[in-house]
């Protein structure tokens, strides 16, 4: 539908910045299943429900803002990845997207492995009982303490990111009388079509060891000589929120090229390749993500074809989806505080959270959808910007969206697809207290990460 079809709603349609918003849906009360968790719907009164519970009840019980996570959906998506890749491959959930002990237990039960990238994530994984051999440890500057803890715990793999780290991990393992399984992370020189800050395989950046100038081959050469290391494979992660499989194709081609060089030089066929995470999800109805089975099929075909061409045994593949599993499973529930129409521009809707619970809009210019959740409305659509309560004009949650023109203080609105990189990147800016994560399943809700309190804030401030 074109903009001009809604002359009354977006009162400011004539001054809209080009390309910054999607035209309003035919029905603003509709909830596009692409961007909402599986069990989300509306009840007979028009209230949004998830896992059989109305958001009005959740708001009353747990307050707002709150991240509401659909546990059944999380498990479904985790299982879909697991099933798609089968038993000849490994799926490591990327804990940086969102990690808590409950999540670790769900992953364990659904047969997924876990990728951690800090001592804190490792501690959470171990505290929740994830078997260490199913944990991969990442990071471009792991501290000596983190390395020692990971090696002592017996993590299944450490992904080495620099020449210094090759030596550090080897020494730590040797001094503990161990041999650590490692992968070497390489940069394959792919320009992923995503935001600059979340692209990671072009050469001019901090992650990995470049393939192009022979550094990666040198890294393998050195690592193979060290008794403390068992080099199991090569790792590549090209970036995040990617829809186009061609970047993975180039990455697989170049990684297999390295495997071939390693075989030719050392007579060793490395057994594994990890193609990282980064698969995109739908934040708005305009996004069209691929299903896990399509991704698995595509990656398997690419790697098999490349290996046949190089006369190599096909290595075991692993992948590390974070966003694609947890992203769509949660929405953030906010209460509207003020509604401020700016004549000729747009209407600013202030909610009780903001950039402290979702930094992605400010940081990456990310796009989100939003819906009136506590009721339905037949009012004309109005163009809104959903903003937070922080002292910062860049404190934007949803840059441009349409909400019913009768939106009023006290209404609940929900922003879908906030399961990934929202709670995990949340801050205490302006001494905001980070919202809870409430998991909902089969008519029951429980807090899996509680809301911060003033006591939490003051506990760190030792006076």
For ligand LLP, the binding residues (CB under 6 A) are 94, 96-97, 115, 138, 198, 237, 240-241, 276-279, 320-324, 360, 364, 420-421
Closer CB to ligand LLP, 95 or 436, in the complex: 95
Closer CB to ligand LLP, 58 or 199, in the complex: 199
- Grouping H, G, I as helix, E, B as strand and the rest as coil, residue 337 is strand
What's the maximum distance between 2 C-alpha atoms anywhere in the chain? 73
Distance (Å, whole) CA 26 – CA 28: 6
Antiparallel, parallel or unpaired: β 48-50 and 41-42: antiparallel
Shortest separation between residue 318's beta carbon and ligand LLP, angstroms: 10
Residue 98 φ/ψ, nearest 5 degrees: -170, 125
Contact 422, 358 (CB under 8 A): yes
Examine the residue annotation and report whether 391 is marked as an active-site residue of this protein. yes
Contact 98, 423 (CB under 8 A): yes
Antiparallel, parallel or unpaired: β 157-160 and 180-187: parallel
State the residue for tokens 């494979």.
233
Q: From the CB of residue 161, how many other CB atoms can be counted at a distance below 10 Å?
A: 22
Closer CB to ligand LLP, 279 or 432, in the complex: 279
Closer CB to ligand LLP, 255 or 279, in the complex: 279
Angle at 385 between CA 382 and CA 390, to 5 degrees: 145
Distance (Å, whole) CA 445 – CA 50: 10
Shortest separation between residue 321's beta carbon and ligand LLP, angstroms: 5
Antiparallel, parallel or unpaired: β 180-187 and 229-235: parallel
Closer CB to ligand LLP, 79 or 138, in the complex: 138
Shortest separation between residue 207's beta carbon and ligand LLP, angstroms: 7
User: Bridge partners of 336?
Assistant: 351
Distance (Å, whole) CA 367 – CA 22: 10
Shortest separation between residue 35's beta carbon and ligand LLP, angstroms: 16
Q: At what angle do helices 292-309 and 246-266 cross, to 10 degrees?
A: 40
Q: From the CB of residue 454, how many other CB atoms can be counted at a distance below 10 Å?
A: 9
Shortest separation between residue 152's beta carbon and ligand LLP, angstroms: 23
User: Bridge partners of 371?
Assistant: 414
Closer CB to ligand LLP, 115 or 146, in the complex: 115
Contact 153, 173 (CB under 8 A): no
Shortest separation between residue 74's beta carbon and ligand LLP, angstroms: 14
Active-site residue numbers? 391
């Amino acid at each position: 539908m074109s903009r001009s079809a809604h002359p009354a709603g977006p009162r400011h349609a004539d001054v809209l910045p080009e390309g910054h918003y999607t035209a309003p849906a035919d029905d603003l009360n509709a909830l596009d299943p692409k961007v909402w968790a599986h069990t989300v719907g509306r009840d007979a009164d028009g209230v949004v429900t998830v896992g059989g519970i109305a958001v009005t009840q959740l708001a009353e019980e747990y307050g707002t803002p709150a991240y509401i996570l659909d546990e059944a959906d999380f498990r479904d998506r985790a299982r879909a990845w697991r099933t798609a890749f089968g038993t000849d491959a490994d799926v490591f959930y990327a804990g940086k997207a969102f990690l808590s002990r409950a999540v670790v237990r769900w992953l364990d039960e659904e047969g997924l492995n876990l990728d951690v990238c800090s001592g804190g994530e490792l501690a959470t994984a171990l505290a929740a009982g994830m078997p260490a051999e199913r944990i991969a440890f990442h990071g471009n500057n792991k501290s000596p303490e983190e390395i020692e803890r990971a090696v002592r715990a017996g993590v299944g793999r450490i992904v080495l990111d620099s020449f210094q780290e090759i030596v550090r991990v080897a020494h730590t393992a040797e001094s503990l009388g161990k041999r650590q399984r490692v992968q070497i992370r390489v940069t394959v020189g792919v320009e992923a079509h995503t935001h600059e800050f979340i692209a990671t395989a072009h050469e001019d950046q901090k992650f990995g060891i470049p393939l192009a100038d022979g550094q990666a081959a040198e890294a393998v050469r050195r690592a193979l000589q060290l008794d403390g290391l068992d080099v199991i494979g090569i790792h590549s992660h090209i970036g995040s929120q990617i829809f186009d499989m061609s970047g993975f194709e180039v990455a697989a081609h170049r990684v297999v090229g390295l495997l071939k060089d390693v075989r030719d030089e050392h007579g060793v066929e490395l057994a594994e390749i990890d193609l990282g995470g980064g698969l995109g999800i739908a934040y708005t109805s305009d996004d069209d993500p691929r299903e896990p089975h399509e991704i698995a099929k595509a990656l398997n075909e690419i790697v098999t074809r490349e290996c046949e061409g190089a006369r190599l045994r096909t290595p075991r593949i692993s992948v590390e989806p974070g966003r694609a599993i947890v992203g769509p499973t949660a929405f953030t529930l906010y209460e509207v505080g003020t509604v401020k129409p700016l004549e000729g521009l747009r209407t600013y809707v202030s909610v009780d959270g903001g950039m402290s619970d979702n930094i992605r809009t400010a940081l990456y210019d990310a796009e989100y959808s939003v819906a009136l959740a506590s009721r339905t409305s037949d009012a004309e659509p109005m163009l809104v910007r959903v903003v937070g309560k922080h002292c910062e004009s860049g404190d934007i949650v949803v840059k441009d969206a349409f909400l019913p023109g009768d939106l009023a203080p006290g209404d609940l609105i929900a922003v879908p697809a906030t399961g990934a990189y929202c709670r995990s990147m949340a801050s205490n800016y302006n001494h905001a207290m980070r919202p809870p994560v409430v998991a909902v399943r089969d008519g029951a809700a429980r807090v899996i990460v509680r809301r911060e309190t003033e006591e939490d804030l003051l506990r760190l401030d030792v006076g």
